[in-house]
A = this chain, B = another copy of it.
Amino acid sequence: VIGFFVFSCICSEVRGRCWSVDPLLSSSYLLQDSRGRPKEIPHNEKLLSLKYESLDYDNIENQLPAEGAPCLRWVVCGLIGFLTGLVACCIDIVVEEMAGLKYKVIKENIVKSTEAGGLSISLILWAVLNCAFVMVGAIMVACFEPIAGGSGIPQIKCYLNGVKIPRVVRLKTLVVKVLGVMCSVVGGLAVGKEGPMIHSGAVIAAGVSQGRSTSLKRDFKMFEYFRRDTEKRDFVSAGAAAGVSAAFGAPVGGVLFSLEEGASFWNQMLTWRIFFASMISTFTLNFFLSIYHHKPGDLSNPGLINFGRFESGFLGALFNVLNYWLTIFRIRYVHRPFLQVIEAMLVAAVTVAVSFTMIYFSTDCQPLGPEHSEEYPLQLFCADGEYNSMAKIFFNTPERSVRSLFHSQPGTYNPLTLGLFTLTYFLLACWTYGLSVSAGVFIPSLLIGAAWGRLSFCPLNERGIVLLSVGGIVRMTLSLTVIMVEATGNVTYGLPIMLVLMTAKIVGDYFQEGLYDIHIKLQSVPFLHWEAPGTSHWLTAREVMSSPVTCLNRIEKVGTIVDILSDTSTNHNGFPVVPAKLCGLILRSQLIVLLKHKVFVELARSRLNQRKLQLKDFRDAYPRFPPIQSIHVSQDERECMMDLTEFMNPTPYTVPLDTSLPRVFKLFRALGLRHLVVADDENRVVGLVTRKDLARYHLGKHGLEELHLAQT
């Protein structure tokens, strides 16, 4: 209760910053009205936000001399793998230690109270401890870095897809993410620590590869060659793979995850580097964990989670439908950090209350194993030498519960226990996902699947295949299969696992999209799928493109450029360069650097020995190019001319007016473009295709539908 006061103080202080960020999974979908107060916008999945930019995956080829540093890429990938493994190790150890401590304290209290009476004190102790942890986690996320909420997988999917999500790969995000996930797991929420590892890996990759940090305001003058979107995106793929690898001990699964989500163009060397990062990451984690467990050299612990074998059904679709409505509700009504933190604490308290009630009323007693294989056995009202079986699942970290469900002897749990657990945990997990805490959905869905599977299939094949609710919820296929195969260490189960995943996907797709896709859609991100909608060949570039296009001349007046860049109503990022016919394409960021360095024709003549602008100058400004407002151009300078020839991309990709949408889509997606010029028969610019033009067509229930574009 005291926490609320502390919290409101903190929050009112940082509120200014809270409003100004635009997170993906938190709920600040807010326009500000004239007095700066947030107002709610009518938000649904039929909108496409215009605030997200594309990454530039196409290399800018201009007349500036280029350099190369292929060997360094391996070093960077190695570093990424190492650091990701280290972070995973850190999370694992801290969670183990703190959860251990917490459960020990509560257990002692319960044991004491069971004898003395007054179990309600134990309940309160448990609730307060959990709420405290969750509060810390929720405050960090809600107030300091909303983008660090959730698992981060949808954000990374979007980033790898080529959408620039603001703040997603910052150091601050990493710190909040790592501390947040520790708090959530120790706080006893129905969450896992695997999803956040993927996001963490990506942030580490972005940071390491750039050799500098904006949050720390340090530039290590390293890896300057990699300071552009193309390279950064490649490294982020490697980081995400390393994250998967560390989370599940599945290096190949990591590579496939990155490729499934991110690859538009398969590149062998890149793939191999990604694989290298994955391997190093698993290895590092293993190595340090083996030292922590006092068994140095025993590398049998490949990931944060290791399980036996398993599966679950169409529960996934139900989960997604419920979570979909919940998310809509949250976007509408729970958009203040204050409310978000309260909701998180409420969930924590309810989780404790439910767990406690279940344990309290459970009559499922089991004999204690010979070697104390149960971690925190609660005797409660069971006979001596027995323990409460319900407590074994609830009174533990989710990872341990999963392991226990997979590996315990049949008969360890009675069906009533399992049924109640499945039901309550399902609802809790569903409520939890989307809270403003840093948390993953993988382990909870695995836990539900395991309990459900044990309930329904145990007599059939005891530790055999259990339906994979994970597949039903997240709908990843190839990479998930490989992750499962690698985590279980058994290839033979590959086919059944894949068949189950396929069934889960087909059944699930019939009712509702995958969880990550739902969240991406609800955030109106211009996400490009693999192919254009099936029924869209009758659409051509003529209908799809944006026009008219703001073009620049090869030698343009500075005043014109400044005016065009300052025009907030259009806010274009790429400008075809023309004297009538198309002869190049130049980006806003390039123009801003040119303006900043005052590369004007007149000045070049007067100052002959002036240093020529180099690629380095563009890189130094990357990725946060200053806004045009911050660049002062005097009235005299406005009359100067700028020669863009040397800096523009002289051969942008073009398509004719009659090109069909699938064809435009394929070119755009395969080459990772940001701007695609539409030219007429005479090679004159008539339009420009950007990401939003392609992303807004989708196959709805009534055939091809077009999303509305929204400024937010």
* A666 proximal to B (CB < 8 A): yes
User: What separation, in Å, do the CA atoms of A457 and B231 have in the docked complex?
Assistant: 41
The residue of chain B having its C-beta at the shortest distance from the C-beta of A267 within the complex is B530
* A113 proximal to B (CB < 8 A): no
Chain B hits for A583, CB < 8 A: 681
* A252 proximal to B (CB < 8 A): yes
The residue of chain B having its C-beta at the shortest distance from the C-beta of A251 within the complex is B494
Given contacts A61-B660, A498-B279, A663-B651, contact A490 B491 (CB under 8 A): no
* A121 proximal to B (CB < 8 A): no
> Which of B275, B282, B498, B658 is close to A651, meaning CB atoms less than 8 Å apart?
B658
Given contacts A300-B492, A494-B251, A531-B267, contact A653 B667 (CB under 8 A): yes
User: What separation, in Å, do the CA atoms of A650 and B268 have in the docked complex?
Assistant: 33
Q: What's the least CB distance linking A662 to chain B, in Å?
A: 8
* A516 proximal to B (CB < 8 A): no
* A68 proximal to B (CB < 8 A): yes
Q: Render A267-296 as a binary contact track against B, CB cut-off 8 A, 1 for contact.
A: 111011001100110110000000000000
Chain B hits for A478, CB < 8 A: 255, 268, 271-272, 275
> Which of B300, B491, B498, B651 is close to A489, meaning CB atoms less than 8 Å apart?
B491
User: What separation, in Å, do the CA atoms of A300 and B660 have in the docked complex?
Assistant: 50
Q: What's the least CB distance linking A516 to chain B, in Å?
A: 14
Chain B hits for A59, CB < 8 A: 662-663
* A10 proximal to B (CB < 8 A): no
> Which of B272, B534, B651 is close to A660, meaning CB atoms less than 8 Å apart?
B651
* A378 proximal to B (CB < 8 A): no
The residue of chain B having its C-beta at the shortest distance from the C-beta of A270 within the complex is B530
Q: Tell me which residues from 294 to 308 in chain A have a Cβ below 8 Å from any Cβ of chain B.
A: 299-300, 302
* Interface pair A491/B302, CB less than 8 Å apart: yes
> Which of B492, B656, B660, B667 is close to A671, meaning CB atoms less than 8 Å apart?
B667
The residue of chain B having its C-beta at the shortest distance from the C-beta of A70 within the complex is B534
Q: Tell me which residues from 226 to 257 in chain A have a Cβ below 8 Å from any Cβ of chain B.
A: 249-252, 255-256
Q: Tell me which residues from 482 to 526 in chain A have a Cβ below 8 Å from any Cβ of chain B.
A: 482, 485-486, 489-492, 494-495, 498, 502
User: What separation, in Å, do the CA atoms of A583 and B682 have in the docked complex?
Assistant: 11
> Which of B66, B272, B494 is close to A279, meaning CB atoms less than 8 Å apart?
B494
Chain B hits for A681, CB < 8 A: 581, 583, 683
User: What separation, in Å, do the CA atoms of A18 and B506 have in the docked complex?
Assistant: 51
* Interface pair B264/A266, CB less than 8 Å apart: yes
Q: Tell me which residues from 658 to 691 in chain A have a Cβ below 8 Å from any Cβ of chain B.
A: 658-660, 662-663, 666-667, 670-671, 679, 681-683
* A654 proximal to B (CB < 8 A): yes
Given contacts A266-B266, A666-B671, contact A498 B660 (CB under 8 A): no
User: What separation, in Å, do the CA atoms of A256 and B256 have in the docked complex?
Assistant: 9
Chain B hits for A670, CB < 8 A: 265, 670-671
Interface centre among A478, A485, A491, A492 (most CB of B within 10 A): A491
User: What separation, in Å, do the CA atoms of A275 and B498 have in the docked complex?
Assistant: 9
Q: Render A467-490 as a binary contact track against B, CB cut-off 8 A, 1 for contact.
A: 000000000011001100110011
* A263 proximal to B (CB < 8 A): yes
Given contacts A492-B299, A534-B68, contact A498 B276 (CB under 8 A): yes
Interface residues on chain A, number (Cβ under 8 Å): 69
Chain B hits for A494, CB < 8 A: 251-252, 279, 282
* Interface pair A252/B660, CB less than 8 Å apart: no
Given contacts A478-B275, A681-B581, contact A490 B492 (CB under 8 A): no
Q: What's the least CB distance linking A253 to chain B, in Å?
A: 9
* A104 proximal to B (CB < 8 A): no
Chain B hits for A655, CB < 8 A: 651, 653
> Which of B252, B269, B489 is close to A252, meaning CB atoms less than 8 Å apart?
B252
User: What separation, in Å, do the CA atoms of A280 and B283 have in the docked complex?
Assistant: 32
* A386 proximal to B (CB < 8 A): no
> Which of B260, B537, B656 is close to A66, meaning CB atoms less than 8 Å apart?
B537
User: What separation, in Å, do the CA atoms of A671 and B665 have in the docked complex?
Assistant: 12
User: What separation, in Å, do the CA atoms of A299 and B534 have in the docked complex?
Assistant: 40
* A259 proximal to B (CB < 8 A): yes
Chain B hits for A651, CB < 8 A: 655-656, 658-660, 663
The residue of chain B having its C-beta at the shortest distance from the C-beta of A487 within the complex is B491
Given contacts A264-B266, A267-B530, A654-B654, contact A486 B491 (CB under 8 A): yes
User: What separation, in Å, do the CA atoms of A248 and B670 have in the docked complex?
Assistant: 32
Chain B hits for A276, CB < 8 A: 498, 502
Q: What's the least CB distance linking A479 to chain B, in Å?
A: 10
Chain B hits for A260, CB < 8 A: 268, 271
User: What separation, in Å, do the CA atoms of A283 and B498 have in the docked complex?
Assistant: 12
Chain B hits for A659, CB < 8 A: 651
* Interface pair B658/A650, CB less than 8 Å apart: yes
* Interface pair B275/A492, CB less than 8 Å apart: no
Given contacts A279-B495, A651-B659, A654-B654, contact A482 B252 (CB under 8 A): yes
* Interface pair B491/A275, CB less than 8 Å apart: no
Q: What's the least CB distance linking A258 to chain B, in Å?
A: 11
User: What separation, in Å, do the CA atoms of A267 and B478 have in the docked complex?
Assistant: 12
Chain B hits for A666, CB < 8 A: 265, 671
Chain B hits for A502, CB < 8 A: 276
Chain B hits for A269, CB < 8 A: 530
Chain B hits for A658, CB < 8 A: 650-651
User: What separation, in Å, do the CA atoms of A516 and B61 have in the docked complex?
Assistant: 34
User: What separation, in Å, do the CA atoms of A248 and B300 have in the docked complex?
Assistant: 25
User: What separation, in Å, do the CA atoms of A271 and B479 have in the docked complex?
Assistant: 11
The 9 closest A-B pairs by CB, nearest first: A651-B659, A279-B495, A683-B683, A670-B670, A263-B266, A266-B266, A581-B681, A283-B495, A651-B656
Supply 21 A–B pairs (Cβ within 8 Å), ascending by A.
Answer: A59-B662, A61-B537, A66-B537, A249-B491, A255-B478, A259-B266, A263-B266, A266-B266, A268-B530, A272-B477, A272-B478, A302-B491, A489-B491, A650-B656, A650-B658, A653-B667, A654-B656, A666-B671, A667-B671, A679-B683, A682-B682
8 further interface pairs, Cβ-Cβ under 8 Å (given A259-B266, A583-B681): A59-B663, A68-B534, A265-B266, A271-B478, A275-B481, A581-B681, A650-B656, A670-B671
